[in-house]
C-alpha cells in the first residue's frame, strides 16, 4: 500500500475515494511522507463498495436460454450483443443491428437484462442469432458481455469476436466494409476512442482479433469483471480497465475513427470565443477548436456531425438524441445528416426508437 501514488489511486479508484485517502510518496526515499484519511468518506466508500460490488460477486445467473437458428459449428466470427428494455421489447432498430452483424458473417449471441422478453421478440431474434440469453439486470454491459462470452465455445479458435450494444442507432450502412478495415495492424479495434479519464476505446463496439483472444490478458480481464450496481464503478472497471489492461499486456489497440485524426484533419475555425461560450452553444467547428486546445469531450457526442458527414461513421448515440447531455444545439437535424450521407430514409422506426427505447442498464 505504501507504493500507491496519487496518480495510481486516480487511475483505479473513483474520485471521491482519492480525496478521502491519498498516499503521497517520496520516490527518492521510497517512503510514505504523508497519509491523510477522512474517516467518514472512507467508511461510506467501504459500505458502498461492499453493497454495490462485492456482494454481487463475479457472476449473474442466466434466467432464460433460447436456442436460435444459427449454429456455432465451424464459426470463425462471433458477436456478443447486449440489450435492455424495461418492457421486454426488442426495437426494430435493434433487430436491424443484430441482423447487420449476422449479415457480416458473425454468429450472434444476444444477451438481455430485460425482466422478460416478449415471445414475438424472441421469434424475430431466433432468425438472426445462435443463442438468446436473459439474465438479472446487474453488471451493466460488461456483465452481459461476460455472460455471453461464457457461452461462446472455443474462443481461441475464432478469427475475431465483437462485443456491441444497443446504445447506438445504426448501422446506417453494411458493417462488413468497416469490419474488413480491422486488419492485423492492431489486435483490438473500436469505432471511436476517447481521452476522457485516460485514453480508451469506446466500448459500444469493440472487435478482438485472434491475437487478442489467445492472449492471457483477454481471459484475465473477463475473469475480473464484477457484477457492479454502480455505473461509475462499472465504467472504470469495464471500459477504462479494458483498454488499460490490454495495452499494459502489450496488445495493440486502435480506433477506425481516431479522435486525434478527426480533429486534426478538419480545417475548423469558430466565430465564437470558444473558451467563453458553453460547449452546447458551440457549433461543430467550435467544438473541434476546443478539443484541439486540449479539452476532452466525448467524441461520439461532440463530433457526431463531422463523424457522419465527413468520415462515414455509421452510428449515432441514442443518448445524444434522447437526452443530449451536452445540450448541443445542432442535433435536431440528425435525420437529414444521416440521409444525406448514406442516402434514402433513416432506418425504419429509428426516429421513434431513439426516444422510446433509451437503454438503462445495471440494477435497481
Q: Give 14-59 pLDDT, tens digit per residue.
A: 444 444 333 333 333 343 333 333 344 443 444 444 444 444 566 6
Lowest mean pLDDT among 14-28, 62-76, 79-93: 14-28
pLDDT score recorded for residue 272: 54
Closest by CA to 164, choosing from 82, 258, 78, 256, is 82
How far is the CA of 172 from the CAs of 20, 80, 100, 289, 340, in angstroms? 46, 20, 10, 28, 11
Q: What Rg value do the Cα atoms of the chain yield, rounded?
A: 21
Q: Is the pLDDT of residue 109 over 70?
A: yes
| H/E segment holding residue 196 | none
Question: Is the Cβ–Cβ distance between 228 and 237 less than 8 Å?
Answer: yes
The SS3 call for residue 109 is strand
pLDDT score recorded for residue 28: 34
Q: Give 204-263 pLDDT, tens digit per residue.
A: 999 999 999 999 999 999 999 988 777 777 778 899 999 999 999 999 999 999 999 999
- What would the mean pLDDT of 59-88 be, rounded to a whole number? 93
pLDDT score recorded for residue 350: 63
pLDDT score recorded for residue 51: 42
pLDDT score recorded for residue 115: 93
DSSP 128: T
Cα 11 to Cα 27: distance, rounded to the nearest angstrom = 18
CA triplet 336, 339, 341: central angle to 5 degrees?
110
Residues 6+ apart with CB under 8 A from 112: 82, 83, 84, 85, 90, 132, 133, 134, 135, 144
- What would the mean pLDDT of 114-136 be, rounded to a whole number? 95
- Residue owning grid cell 480533429: 263
How far is the CA of 74 from the CAs of 78, 283, 289, 327, in angstroms? 11, 49, 49, 47
* Four-residue CA torsion sign, 342, 344, 345, 350: negative
First to last CA, the chain: 33
Q: Please give the distance of CA 246 from its chain centroid, rounded to a whole number.
A: 15
Cα 158 to Cα 286: distance, rounded to the nearest angstrom = 43
Would you tell me how many other CB atoms lie within 10 Å of the CB of residue 161?
26
Percent of the chain with pLDDT over 70: 75
Lowest mean pLDDT among 64-78, 138-152, 341-355: 341-355
Q: Give 286-315 pLDDT, tens digit per residue.
A: 999 999 989 999 999 999 999 999 999 999
pLDDT score recorded for residue 265: 83
| H/E segment holding residue 142 | helix 140-150
> Quick one: pLDDT band at residue 66, thresholds 50, 70, 90?
very high
Residues 6+ apart with CB under 8 A from 57: 226, 227
- Residue owning grid cell 462485443: 163
- What would the mean pLDDT of 157-183 be, rounded to a whole number? 97
Q: Is the pLDDT of residue 82 over 50?
A: yes
- How many CA atoms within 13 Å lie on the side-chain side of 226? 20
Average pLDDT, rounded, for the chain = 83
- What would the mean pLDDT of 164-184 be, rounded to a whole number? 97
E-state strands within 215-299:
253-257
Query: Strand 188-194 vs strand 200-201: parallel, antiparallel, or unpaired?
Result: antiparallel
Predicted model pTM: 0.82
- What would the mean pLDDT of 66-92 be, rounded to a whole number? 95
Q: Give 178-191 pLDDT, tens digit per residue.
A: 999 999 999 999 99
In the chain the domains, ranked by start, together with CATH numbers, are 6-52 (no CATH), 62-257 (3.90.550.10), 259-356 (no CATH)
Q: Is the pLDDT of residue 364 over 80?
A: no
Amino acid at each position: 500500500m505504501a507504493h500507491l501514488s496519487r496518480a495510481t489511486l486516480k487511475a483505479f479508484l473513483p474520485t471521491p475515494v482519492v480525496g478521502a485517502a491519498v498516499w503521497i510518496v517520496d520516490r527518492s526515499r521510497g517512503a510514505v511522507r504523508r497519509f491523510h484519511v477522512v474517516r467518514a468518506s472512507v467508511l461510506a466508500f467501504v459500505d458502498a463498495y461492499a453493497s454495490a460490488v462485492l456482494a454481487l460477486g463475479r457472476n449473474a445467473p442466466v434466467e432464460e436460454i433460447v436456442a436460435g437458428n444459427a449454429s456455432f459449428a465451424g464459426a470463425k466470427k462471433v458477436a456478443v450483443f447486449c440489450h435492455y428494455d424495461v418492457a421486454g421489447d426488442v426495437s426494430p432498430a435493434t433487430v436491424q443491428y443484430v441482423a447487420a452483424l449476422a449479415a457480416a458473417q458473425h454468429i450472434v449471441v444476444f444477451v438481455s437484462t430485460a425482466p422478460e422478453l416478449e415471445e414475438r421478440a424472441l421469434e424475430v431474434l431466433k432468425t438472426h442469432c445462435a443463442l438468446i440469453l436473459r439474465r438479472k439486470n446487474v453488471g451493466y454491459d460488461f456483465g452481459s458481455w461476460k455472460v455471453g462470452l461464457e457461452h461462446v465455445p472455443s474462443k481461441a479458435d475464432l478469427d475475431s469476436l465483437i462485443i456491441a450494444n444497443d446504445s447506438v442507432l445504426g448501422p446506417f450502412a453494411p458493417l462488413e466494409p468497416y469490419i474488413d478495415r480491422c486488419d492485423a495492424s492492431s489486435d483490438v479495434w473500436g469505432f471511436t476512442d476517447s481521452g476522457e479519464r485516460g485514453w480508451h476505446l469506446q466500448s459500444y463496439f469493440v472487435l478482438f482479433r485472434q491475437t487478442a483472444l489467445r492472449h492471457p490478458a483477454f481471459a484475465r480481464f473477463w475473469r475480473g469483471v464484477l457484477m457492479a450496481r454502480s455505473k461509475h464503478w462499472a465504467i472504470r472497471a469495464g471500459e477504462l480497465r479494458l483498454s488499460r489492461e490490454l495495452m499494459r499486456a502489450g496488445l495493440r489497440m486502435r480506433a477506425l475513427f481516431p479522435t486525434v485524426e478527426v480533429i486534426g484533419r478538419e480545417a475548423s475555425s469558430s466565430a465564437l470565443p470558444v473558451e467563453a461560450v458553453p460547449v452546447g452553444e458551440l457549433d461543430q467547428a467550435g467544438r473541434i477548436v476546443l478539443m484541439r486546445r486540449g479539452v476532452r469531450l466525448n467524441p461520439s457526442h461532440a463530433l457526431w456531425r463531422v463523424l457522419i458527414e465527413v468520415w462515414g461513421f455509421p452510428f449515432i448515440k441514442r443518448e445524444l438524441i434522447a437526452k443530449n447531455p451536452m445540450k448541443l444545439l445542432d442535433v435536431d437535424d440528425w435525420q437529414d445528416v444521416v440521409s444525406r450521407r448514406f442516402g434514402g430514409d433513416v432506418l425504419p422506426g429509428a426516429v421513434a426508437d431513439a426516444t422510446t427505447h433509451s437503454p438503462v442498464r445495471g440494477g435497481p
